[in-house]
């Protein structure tokens, strides 16, 4: 059973977004639904993340904290919570959070926010909304993510192939899903995150579906969000999940002729990158798991979308 509540225990008294005056430069004030996941394993980072979030100005906020297999602790007053009886994974938890804030009062945007990230200024969300309004064709806006100590932006946080150009704005075809602003209407039309992925590559799946709706993504490196530069391989099952989900991604979203090309490219890249034989064996096991099925509904992108992605600089085989 999923339990929804406020810290006070009464979800029906969840506060509506606080009204804010319209900004003459960006238009009417936006309401932003914010989804934060927790497993109660970041007692220092999580309160800092929430403090920076609730300090945002220039937007209306509706916030939900999803306890992924736990009852959330460190919940600020007046913030809605959802308690899941088991850990359903990151994309599944995000879907639950977005659904909890859906309905007639839903915000114009949904902001997915890692619970160890920090918004370093009180206008970060307002600036992301302004970027979205300046780029109406973009279904999502990606800020630049930087380590708070070193200021470094990791290559995997830059949603383009030329990841060394972390400060160059522009249209992008994938996303760093831990900190991203998505238009609610586009998110719902695309069908949300691929919950069965559990972890890794869910942002590529969602971005491709958004592009298949005729939309784009926008990278706004002038808006910076802080996030510790951690190694994704710290997660148990990393090599298995990244291999399995690559296969699932191809089976779910690519036209048939591109599936073997995509899988061959990523197999060769992975073999070249993975130095440990033990890790490579786990990766191969994940590849086999993906090939065995379980990817869910197949809804391949159109060839028009393939062409659009190619023209945008990232054909859907790399």
Crossing angle of helices 303-311 and 202-212, in 10° steps, is: 110
Name residues of the chain where pLDDT drops below 50.
1, 6-20, 24-26
Residue 42 CA, chain-centre distance (Å), reads 19
What pLDDT is recorded for position 232? 77
Query: 82 with 148: CB under 8 angstroms?
Result: no
What pLDDT is recorded for position 16? 42
Residue 63 CA, chain-centre distance (Å), reads 16
Domain 3-230, CATH class in plain words? alpha beta
What pLDDT is recorded for position 262? 97
How many Cα atoms sit within 13 Å of 278 on the Cβ side? 1
Residue-range domain boundaries for the chain: 3-230, 234-311
State the DSSP string of 51-68. Answer: HHHHT--SSEEEEEEEEE
Q: Which two tokens stand for residue 175?
A: 């996303």
Residue 67's DSSP bridge partners are: 38, 83
What pLDDT is recorded for position 120? 98
**Segment 11-28, tens digit of pLDDT:** 333 444 444 455 544 457
State the DSSP string of 218-282. Answer: EEEEEEEEE-----GGGSTTHHHHHHHHHHHHHHHHS-TTHHHHHHHHHHHHHHHH---HHHHHH
């Amino acid at each position: 059973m999923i339990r929804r509540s406020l810290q006070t225990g009464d979800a029906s008294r969840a506060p509506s977004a606080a009204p804010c005056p319209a900004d003459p430069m960006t238009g009417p004030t936006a309401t932003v639904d914010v989804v934060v996941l927790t497993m109660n394993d970041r007692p220092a980072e999580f309160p800092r993340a929430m403090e920076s979030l609730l300090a945002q100005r220039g937007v209306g906020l509706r916030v939900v904290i999803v306890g992924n297999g736990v009852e959330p602790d460190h919940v600020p007053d007046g913030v809605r919570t959802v308690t899941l009886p088991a850990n359903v994974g990151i994309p599944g938890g995000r879907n639950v959070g977005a659904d909890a804030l859906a309905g007639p009062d839903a915000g114009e945007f949904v902001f997915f926010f890692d619970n160890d990230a920090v918004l370093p200024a009180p206008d970060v969300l307002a600036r992301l909304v302004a970027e979205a309004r300046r780029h109406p064709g973009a279904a999502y806006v990606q800020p630049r993510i930087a380590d708070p100590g070193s200021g470094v932006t990791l290559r995997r946080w830059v949603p383009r192939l030329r990841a060394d150009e972390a400060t160059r704005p522009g249209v992008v075809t994938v996303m760093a899903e831990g900190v991203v602003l998505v238009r609610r209407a586009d998110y719902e039309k695309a069908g949300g995150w691929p919950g069965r992925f559990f972890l890794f590559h869910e942002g590529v799946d969602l971005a491709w579906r958004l592009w298949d709706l005729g939309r784009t993504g926008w990278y706004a490196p002038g808006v910076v969000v802080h996030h510790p530069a951690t190694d994704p391989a710290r997660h148990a099952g990393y090599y298995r999940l990244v291999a399995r989900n690559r296969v699932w991604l191809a089976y779910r979203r690519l036209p048939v002729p591109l599936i073997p090309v995509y899988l061959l490219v990523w197999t060769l890249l992975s073999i070249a990158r993975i130095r440990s034989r033990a890790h490579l064996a786990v990766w191969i096991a994940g590849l086999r798991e993906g090939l065995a099925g379980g990817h869910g509904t197949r809804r391949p992108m159109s060839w028009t979308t393939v062409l659009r992605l190619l023209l945008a600089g990232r054909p859907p085989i790399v």
